[in-house]
Chain A
Amino acid sequence: MRGFLRRLRALTVKEFRQLFRDRSNLLLGIGLPIILIFIFGYGITFDITGIKLGVVNMSGSEISRKLTSGVSGAPIFRVIRYTGVQEAEQDFVNQKIEGYLVFRNDFEREYRKGNGKIQFMMDGKDPNRAQTAYMYLTSALGGAISKDPGTPRVGITAETRMWFNQPASSTWYIVPGLVVLIMTLVGTFLTALVMAREYERGTLEAIFVSPVRPVEIIIGKIIPYFCVGILGFALCLLAARELFDVPIRCSILLLSLVSMLYLVVALAIGLLISAVTRNQFVASQLSVLVTFLPCIMLSGFIFDLRNTPEVILYIGHLLPSTYYMETLKTLFLAGDVHSVILKNSLILTLYAVGFTGITMMITRKRLD
């Protein structure tokens, strides 16, 4: 046991030195998390704002003016007024506006009969944006005339409340996802790259012929990258709390424990990739392919897996990051929901044991 600890300490010290010697490692370990925090915190939002909407008012009636001002009062729209349809069409084709409303000449007359028609043209390339614009328009137009005498009160209405995320801000679900992304990138990509380099250069053989055991090599390798990952995690947590005001409704201890567990999984995947490929080029391509985009696209980070076909749902659930993502969103926004956390932690533990086991088997085999 004492020998084990002594050898492990020596190895860990060596790995730390190696890590600090190359600035590019620190760029990935610390620089990348900071870049990501800024991109996701400030650059990316799924809240739809600033829809540039033209309004062509050919009716010139009081009611159409009232409706128009109702629309321009809605914060989601930036209204540009036009006198003729042609000009609006022109600007639409040139992408200066994203859509436009048309009040025809006879709008007022038809409105009095109860069937005034407002045409709404919108760029459908981004259907989500178009759909949201439509919904906001309906409520803005309805709101504009609701105080008018003679306007029927809309009878049965839905009163919507967003549970866990009262301001309905996408940043609140993006930031927990960001933690997952950073841990995955640092854990898997960095580890795969560094280990593959050692395999390729044959420096690992040099360690293999020394009296250290494979377990010690692996643990010695993992510890420095584990620390780098934890640093990234701490940065995210700090940013979530101080910069983005994302609530953290769970115990920090639980959050850290789950994160450490996931970090072990991520590191083990990195080790596995490098041990299998033993080639920097292949290892780097492979680790980017299994971490970066899948983590963004398939783990429920941005696109809700519940909206995807069954097959994709299952594939998404093959990724450990999906379980970590679910857990983090729940922990940050809902709090300590034990049934979700326990189930997902158990699955992550299985992944950790599985990946480490396979890696050790491969390392040992190569040693013989």
Chain B
Amino acid sequence: MTESFYMIMALLRKEMLTIFKDPSSRALLIVPPIIQAFLFGYVATFDLKEVNYAFNDRCHCEASRELRAEINGSGFFVEKPVSGGNSMDSYIDAMNREEILVIVSVDENFEKKVKNRGDAKVQVLLDGRNSTTAGTAGGYLSQIVSRFSEKKGFMNAPFSLEYRPLYNLNSITRWNILPALIATLSLIQVIMLSALSVARERERGTFEQLLVTPLTQMQILAGKAIPPIIVGLGQSSFILLVALFWFKVPFSGNILSLYFGLLLFTCACVGYGLSISAFAANMQQAMLYAFVLLVPLALLSGLMTPIANMPDVWQYMTWLNPLRYAIDFARRVYLEGAAIPELWYDLLPLALISMITLSFAGWMFRHHVV
């Protein structure tokens, strides 16, 4: 037993050295996840910051001036002067040049309609080149206009909607993305690292040497799997720290539960990575296969769009995707404080994927397909 332990330790030491010996590859495993966590934490938001808009006032009346003040006072919309004078044409030119996102326009008889309790319309023109931003801006404007309508003495509907968001009370999109990044950012490098570790040895012919040592298949598997698992968990920890202490996303769950899920997830990733190397004749092929696998794994994971929004066929395919479970798990533990027994539907598939892929990879060490 102790002998077997020392054998694995020796192999582990060698594997860790190949990963961390070269300063540039060492830096590549540590720096990028941290930088990415910062950048993506800031960029991954659908919350509007400030929207440049133009107010095309053809009424020049009290009502239009008040509406304009209301919009400017909302804090979301900033009026931006455009070149070429105050005409609809020059506003549209400015929109084409992406200088403004919205044109709000009221026509000549706006005042009269407001006074006579008529059907007063405010035209809102949105730049749909990013329809998500435009849709949100449009929604805010509708709310501002209906508030204005109330203010001008129009009666409101006889009911009101009392909205209470649960789990993310401040409605910050960043809170949704950061727990997901904890898993996503480590996925990429863990898969590449494990896919390369065997492929590199095969390319150089040293893998055969490893196979003739007294190490058993299980021991080689452990030696190949543990270093990327450590790297992955380390990367996840960096991102977790950024989420906790820089973005101050409050952690509601148990840290050990989170790490338990992440461990299973990283095992599944390593399983995929090592399995890829069975199909690759050299490093270049291993990289390409890993990459072609990575892209759908990262995109069809619920990171950016909920899986429930995808067509059924795609939803079934995501059952094979470890990241899908990890993201759900991380969000539920991080944001909702869920405990492990509640999350069996994430953990069980991760355990299954890990078992299947890792045993396949171990078997493949001797039964190489290429």
Question: Which A residues fall within an 8 A CB radius of B?
Answer: 22, 24-25, 27-28, 31-32, 35-36, 39-40, 42-50, 52, 67, 111-132, 134-135, 137-138, 141-142, 145, 151-166, 168-170, 172-173, 185, 189-190, 193-194, 197, 277, 279-282, 284-286, 288-289, 292-294, 296-298, 300, 302-309, 311-312, 315-316, 326, 329-330, 333-334, 337, 339-340
Residue pair A158, B157 in contact (C-beta under 8 Å) = no
Q: With an 8 A cutoff between CB atoms, is B189 at the interface?
A: yes
Tell me the B residues contacting A by CB distance below 8 Å.
22, 24-25, 28-29, 32, 36, 39-40, 42-49, 51, 67, 95-98, 101, 114, 117, 119-136, 138-139, 141-143, 145-146, 148-149, 152, 154-169, 171-173, 175-176, 188-189, 192, 196, 200, 280, 283-285, 287-289, 291-292, 294-296, 298-300, 304-306, 308-311, 314, 331, 335-336
Q: How far is the CA of A130 from the CA of B142 in the complex (A)?
A: 17
Q: Is the beta-carbon distance between B154 and A160 smaller than 8 angstroms? A: no
Question: When the two chains form their complex, are residues B123 and A122 in contact, meaning their CB atoms are under 8 A apart?
Answer: no
Contact of B154 among A49, A152, A315 (CB under 8 A): A152
25 contacts across the A-B interface (CB closer than 8 A): A24-B284, A112-B158, A116-B160, A117-B160, A121-B166, A122-B166, A124-B165, A128-B173, A131-B136, A131-B171, A135-B142, A141-B161, A152-B156, A156-B145, A159-B121, A159-B123, A163-B125, A165-B128, A169-B131, A279-B22, A286-B28, A292-B298, A297-B44, A303-B44, A340-B98
A329 to chain B, nearest CB (A): 5
In contact, A32 and B145 (Cβ under 8 angstroms): no
Contact: A134 with B161, CB < 8 Å?
yes
Interchain CB contact (< 8 A) of A39 among B22, B43, B173, B300: B300
Bound together, the chains give a CA A326 to CA B130 distance in angstroms of 10
Quick one: which of B46, B284, B309 contacts A197, CB cutoff 8 A?
Answer: B284
Question: Which residue of chain B has the shortest Cβ distance to A152 in the bound complex?
Answer: B155
The answer to whether B42 and A132 touch across the interface, beta carbons within 8 angstroms, is: no
Beyond contacts A120-B164, A153-B154, A159-B122: 15 other A-B pairs, Cβ-Cβ < 8 A, are A28-B288, A31-B292, A39-B299, A45-B310, A119-B162, A120-B161, A132-B139, A155-B119, A155-B152, A156-B114, A158-B123, A166-B128, A169-B131, A292-B188, A296-B299
A25 to B288, CA, bound (A): 7
Closest CB in chain B relative to A61 CB, distance in Å: 12
When chains A and B are docked, how far (Å) is the Cα of A279 from the Cα of B189?
Answer: 16
A193 partner residues in chain B, CB cutoff 8 A: 284, 287-288
Nearest-neighbor residue (CB-CB) of A156 within chain B? B149
**CB nearest neighbor in B for A49:** B309
Residues of B within 8 A of A302 (CB): 304
Most chain B Cβ neighbours within 10 Å, of A124, A154, A169:
A124
- Of A36, A123, A281, A312, the contact of B167 (CB 8 Å cutoff): A123
Interface-central residue, B32, B157, B159, B300, by most chain A CB under 10 Å: B159
* Chain A residues within an 8 Å CB radius of B173: 126-128
> How many angstroms from the CA of A91 to the CA of B353 in the assembled complex?
28
Cα A312 to Cα B44 with chains together (Å)? 11
Question: Do B45 and A307 have beta carbons less than 8 Å apart?
Answer: yes
A44, B298: Cα distance in complex, Å: 12
* CB–CB A282/B128 < 8 A: no
When the two chains form their complex, are residues A151 and B176 in contact, meaning their CB atoms are under 8 A apart?
no
Please tell me if the beta carbons of A172 and B288 are within 8 angstroms of each other in the complex: no
Q: Is B296 within 8 A of A39, CB to CB?
A: yes
Nearest-neighbour CB distance to chain B for A213, whole angstroms, equals: 26
B159 engages A111 (CB within 8 Å): yes
Across chains A and B, which 5 residue pairs bring their CB atoms closest together, nearest first?
A165-B128, A155-B154, A124-B165, A152-B155, A124-B168
Residues in chain A near residue B45, CB distance under 8 A: 303, 307-308
